[in-house]
Amino acid sequence: MLDMKFLRENPELVRQNIRNKFQDAKLPLVDEVIALDAESRAVKTEADSLRANRNKVSKEIGALMAQGKKEEAMAAKAKVTEFSARLAECEALEADYAEKIRKIMLVIPNIIDPSVPIGRDDSENVEVQRYGEPRTPDFEIPYHTEIMERFDGIDLDAARSVAGNGFYYLMGDIARLHSAVIAYARDFMIDRGFTYCVPPFMIRSNVVTGVMSFAEMDAMMYKIEGEDLYLIGTSEHSMIGKYIDKIIEEETLPHTLTSYSPCFRKEKGAHGIEERGVYRIHQFEKQEMIVVCKPEDSPVWFDKLWQNTVDLFRSMEIPVRTLECCSGDLADLKVKSIDVEAWSPRQQKYFEVGSCSNLGDAQARRLKIRVNGQNGKYFAHTLNNTVVAPPRMLIAFLENHLQADGSVTIPEVLRPYMGGKDVLIPKH
């Protein structure tokens, strides 16, 4: 959410940012919120004047009574009553304007970083760099669920009977591999200085609206009926929510946390052949990382975060690339975002396995996360990034480590988490 003072002083910059995100329907909101802000400030000025006059006249009443000037005192009391009545009207107007302004400001997108490429959607994202040599095997690689089935490692039919489409049972070595990746990712991030955390898996609505846009919320979140609770779509939401209404001492920054959680997503509009299996699902587990830091430090932390994911995948011998998300592909709160994509030997293309985002002070402003610094209080910057989400990681892992005989090799870094195994042998 933008600062109202910033918008008031830079309306054309805000309009151009809206155009750059191809959200021209929001352009009228700039003039609308500026007009509301002007009315709000005028009412506030009147209210301040009324309070001052009321206080001044109230002090005069006692003196008038002491002097025996009863009629003048009664007239002063009537004036105080008049001031109070109008002040109550002004305070109600102030609250009304504040709510209207907040609703609009929640919809106006954050200012994107100047380095972000301008583009309409994810088809115009820009490749930054590749890491590792993409594998092109001389044998056919089956769809990932077929690989899992050779190990008796997945049961989609049973999950469909229990919970419907978009769910799965992982079994045996595949389930163990899933847990091994999560455990390795946890230790990988701890070794990089992050504090491990298991957060709440449900959050209240004020946290939801603090960490994401309404469009994201509608497309992702499951609401608990009859309660002010939502299932988290990613632990980032719960982790950033940890700081709601907090004042952080500057010398304690940065706060670097890595969290494990299950994630729940509606996945509205997910269709097509690549949505089969475990590519796009309603429930999965994930290791996440977040940073709360000083504004001037967030660009450096942004680069550190996505590099962590690249290094994790490369340590498991999976080729990846980084993509700079274009303006139209950025969610409204994001300043800048890098996607990490893993190589799929079956499809001979890369697919997304993680996303790193710098949100500037947007979440902090919504959630009132402030820093107590040497020169006063200011809003923190927040960043987040996927360490690993095993359902998609499993696809990349199985395809990149599948051998011609159907076995799957285990890279050295994962062997301690797999009971020392260096290869998985299929049952079929």
Opening angle at CA 221, ends 255 and 102, nearest 5: 70
304: amino acid identity, one letter: K
Closest among 313, 288, 284 to 391, alpha carbons compared: 284
**336-344 and 376-379 beta bridge pairing:** unpaired
Residue from 60, 82, 317, 352 carrying the catalytic annotation: 352
Three-state DSSP at 278 gives: coil
Three-state DSSP at 77 gives: helix
Contacts of 59 (CB under 8 A, 6+ apart): none
**Rounded Cα–Cα distance for residues 203 and 81 (Å):** 45
What dihedral angle (degrees, nearest 10) is formed by the CA atoms of 248, 249, 255, 259? -40
**Known catalytic membership, residue 346:** no
Residue from 355, 357, 366, 370 carrying the catalytic annotation: 355
Residue from 15, 150, 186, 280 carrying the catalytic annotation: 280
Three-state DSSP at 20 gives: helix
Residue from 54, 186, 321, 392 carrying the catalytic annotation: 392
Helix residue ranges, H only, 267-315? 298-315
Residue from 54, 150, 186, 265 carrying the catalytic annotation: 265
CA 206 to chain centre: 14
**Rounded Cα–Cα distance for residues 276 and 144 (Å):** 9
**Known catalytic membership, residue 99:** no
Closest among 421, 394, 384 to 318, alpha carbons compared: 394
Three-state DSSP at 190 gives: helix
**Known catalytic membership, residue 352:** yes
Residues with catalytic annotation? 265, 280, 352, 355, 392
